[in-house]
Amino acid sequence: MRIALLGGTGDIGEGLALRWAYHTDHDVVIGSRDPDAAHEAADAYRETVAQHGRETKVTGFENAMAADRADVVVLAVPPYHVADTVDAVAESLDEDDVLVTPATGIKRDESGFHYHPPGAGSVTALVAEAAPESVPVVGAFHNLAAGRLSDLDADLGIDTLVVADDEDAKDVVSGIAEDIDGLRALDAGGLANAAEIESLTPLLINVAQNNDGLHDLGVQFR
């Protein structure tokens, strides 16, 4: 399967790209508004994986070209860019593709980080509104620590919650999530449940920042 990470030069994009490149045989495509940045990131990720003893294929393209080459398209962009990014690549998407969003709205004040959803109710809902009607949207990878993902020497042992209204698309994303060693995908229902999942992210950041040794914490349900 070919996975495109739009905005894959950022932290969460890097972490997911490295894990899929290292743990799986999926083709990983890095997307960016700047194709040169995408090429440079792809080269860097490929080198990191090679340093850990595995040769892999990671390529880089402008976002629309990356999406056109993919079966699964991950919007690894900040929440305020998701709608514009979907609009920019919409013509590259078709009904056989799956669109994935890990973004969550967050604001910060002197007390810490807080959930800040858009008017649609969640970033996942915002993506669903922006996506072509025939393209299924899945919310996943919201609560993962980018630093932990990017450290290929780190064991994960964490869960990711997956929401979608299209069960086949949910199964696809759960499958590629569990292809990463130490990552378990849990079904959290339909897209209407996305806000509850997204709101966990600022909580985890606050816990990580206020407790020693929990910088790259994750969640595991038992």
Q: 3-state DSSP call for residue 60?
A: strand
Contact 105, 38 (CB under 8 A): no
Neighbours of 10 (CB within 10 A): 16
As a whole number of angstroms, the distance between CA 218 and CA 93 comes to: 32
Q: Could you state, in chain order, the average pLDDT of each consecutive group of 10 residues for the chain (222 residues)?
A: 95 96 96 96 97 94 95 96 96 96 95 95 97 97 93 95 98 98 98 97 94 87 92
pLDDT of residue 49: 96
Q: Which residues of 136-158 are buried (b: 16+ CB within 10 A; e: fewer)?
A: bbbbbbbbbbbebbbebeeebeb
pLDDT of residue 20: 98
Domains of the chain: 2-210 (3.40.50.720)
**For the chain, how long is the longest CA-to-CA vector?**
46
pLDDT of residue 205: 94
pLDDT of residue 215: 82
As a whole number of angstroms, the distance between CA 156 and CA 151 comes to: 10
Q: How far apart are the first and last CA of the chain?
A: 30
pLDDT of residue 216: 83
